[in-house]
Amino acid sequence: MSDTYVLLHDPKGLIEAELPLDRAPHEALVTAVLAWNDPDLAPRDYEQIALQLTGHSRAVAADVRRLAAALPKSDGRGAFAEVVLREADGRLSAPLKGTARCVPNRAPLVQALYTRLDRLTEPAPAAT
């Protein structure tokens, strides 16, 4: 084993932008969390689920932010993306408690971010 490592400097997140999101397992997790009816999990399980949802929310938000920034100012999809991103920033800035109450609050955030990401990757609507 080597004692050396390489420090990666990528302030614009270009490398991350090239990596596809692992969407299916996170959407399955969101579906499961939203279907919960008073689950009885160990505290560390709640914490791990909250960490998964939080980390994935941040990754999806980064993609939404990158795509929205590339849109022309006249494209209304960018304005809607900003609304969702402000909401995401607010929710993600709240301390992570990893509890039965915290986890279900993170799941809809992942859904909202994916909805916005999908809208940003669709072709722009034709002007009328």
DSSP, collapsed to helix, strand or coil, labels residue 34 as helix
Count of structural domains within the chain: 1
Which pLDDT score is estimated for 13? 56
DSSP code string of 79-120: HHHHHHHHHHHHHHHSPP--STTHHHHHHHHHHHHHHHHHHH
Task: Measure the CA–CA gap between 65 and 120, rounded to whole angstroms.
Answer: 10
Residue 96 lies in a domain: yes
60-71 confidence digits (pLDDT tens) = 999 999 999 999
Residue 63 lies in a domain: yes
Residue 66 lies in a domain: yes
Structural domain harbouring 54: 42-121
Nearest to 59 by CA among 29, 32, 92: 92
Residue 8 lies in a domain: no
Residue 17 lies in a domain: no
3-36 confidence digits (pLDDT tens) = 675 555 556 655 555 566 789 999 999 999 999 8
Most distant pair of Cα atoms in the chain: their distance: 62
